[in-house]
Amino acid sequence: MTTSTLINDSDLKLKHLSSMLASLTHRLEVARTGHNEQLTALLEREYEQLIGERKAVQHASFNPVQAWFQHLWDHFSDTVPSLYQLQVTQLADGKGHAYWSVYYPKTGQRLVTQSETEMQDWIKKNYWAA
């Protein structure tokens, strides 16, 4: 009986999902560093699934009105992918020096940097950890 109580505990589920997302974020970083595009694509799909599961657990803890509005927003945001899609562009200035531009439409945050490492750290902090 205690086990089923723990399994139905939304706080515990959220902690577990957060732990899984943290581990997955690390695995994604390693796959990207190794330029393993196939693994990266698989891990990104897994990440999206976990995010969906986390949303479902969070919605279960809302009251019915909050859950309805949240469901409506999620459905709308899923139909407009550019709301969440990270935009990463590598550009070159007039002298041929490469730089990165990263934009996250969901939050309006933007980064422009010459450092690929700084760009990757920004993505981990502002996109994958969100």
pLDDT tens readout for residues 16-31: 888 888 888 888 888 8
Instruction: Quote the tokens at residue 43.
Output: 């891990």
Residue 2 has pLDDT above 50, yes or no: no
Is the separation of the CB atoms in 86 and 123 below 8 Å?
yes
Q: Say what the pLDDT of residue 3 is.
A: 43
Q: What is the CA radius of gyration of the chain?
A: 18
Helices and strands of the chain, counted as H and E runs: 5, 3
pLDDT band at 114 (very low <50, low <70, confident <90, very high): very high
Q: Say what the pLDDT of residue 82 is.
A: 60
